[in-house]
Amino acid sequence: MTQDQQSDHLAETRAQILAAAIPNVAFDGWSKATLRRAAQDAGIEEGKAQLAFPTVQDMVVGFVHHVDSLMLAKIADLPLDDMRIRDKITAAVEARLDVLAPLREAERRAIAFMALPQHAAAGANCVAGTVDKIWRAIGDTSTDFNFYTKRLTLGGVLSSTVLFWLGDESEDYAETHAFLERRIDDVMKIEKAKARMNSACNPEGRPSILSALSRLRYGVANRMRP
């Protein structure tokens, strides 16, 4: 059996374990105890559960991917063609908050878990993966330096907004939505400043060095697809 086939074979098992684990995370956190109990509650043999989630970190990463899937399904229902870029970003972040609402304590514990030094790299990879999925979902096709700056910028917006949301007790998370709007305003100001700088530095519209390097790396035809 290939790794891909095994991964597909275990997808349902991982989903069952996560479904059983999430209600208990508030009490036991993301831990070996939670993994064992979830496997038992789901009626999954210990050996199979170990294959599905070899470590607790794998289970937390699986939770993040689960949230990503729910978020992407929600984004897919948005009228993106009729929206400005800032509205797309705002709606995408709000879509993530919507799917996290019933998973708030699990998300809180996941962030705390990934903040530990031994899990920091995995946590950073999860954030990077999430923001890349968001940009793809809303139609980003950049391959130049913007590919990286967009993801770094959105990573900061998303992370800070989720952290703010976790402590927000306002009705319908009104304060979080206002916080997000301010973060998006800041980003748009930066983007406008970058555009003015690029125009001033390259008045004749010649391809930049970064753009040329990007083409060498990715190829002209190998553009990201949403």
Are 121 and 164 in a shared domain?
Answer: yes
Mean pLDDT of all residues belonging to the chain: 86
Split at pLDDT 50, 70, 90, the class of 195 is low
Question: pTM of the full predicted structure?
Answer: 0.81
Ramachandran sector of residue 44 (left: φ over 0; alpha: ψ -120 to 50; beta: rest):
beta
Are 135 and 33 in a shared domain?
Answer: no
Q: Residues of the chain with pLDDT > 90: what percent?
A: 71
The CATH number that applies at residue 158 is 1.10.357.10
> pLDDT digit string (tens) for 119-155?
999 999 999 999 999 999 999 888 777 888 889 999 9
20: containing domain: 1-54
Are 43 and 74 in a shared domain?
Answer: no
CA dist., res. 132 & res. 10, Å (int): 25
Are 29 and 138 in a shared domain?
Answer: no
CA dist., res. 225 & res. 211, Å (int): 18
> pLDDT digit string (tens) for 67-91?
999 999 999 999 999 999 999 999 9
pLDDT at 9: 84
Can you give the C-alpha Rg of the chain in angstroms?
20
> pLDDT digit string (tens) for 23-32?
999 889 999 9
Kindly state whether residue 224 falls inside one of the protein's structural domains.
no
What is the domain count for the chain?
2
Domain end position, chosen among 54, 82, 99: 54
Kindly state whether residue 208 falls inside one of the protein's structural domains.
yes
Main-chain phi, psi angles of 107, to 5 degrees: -70, -40
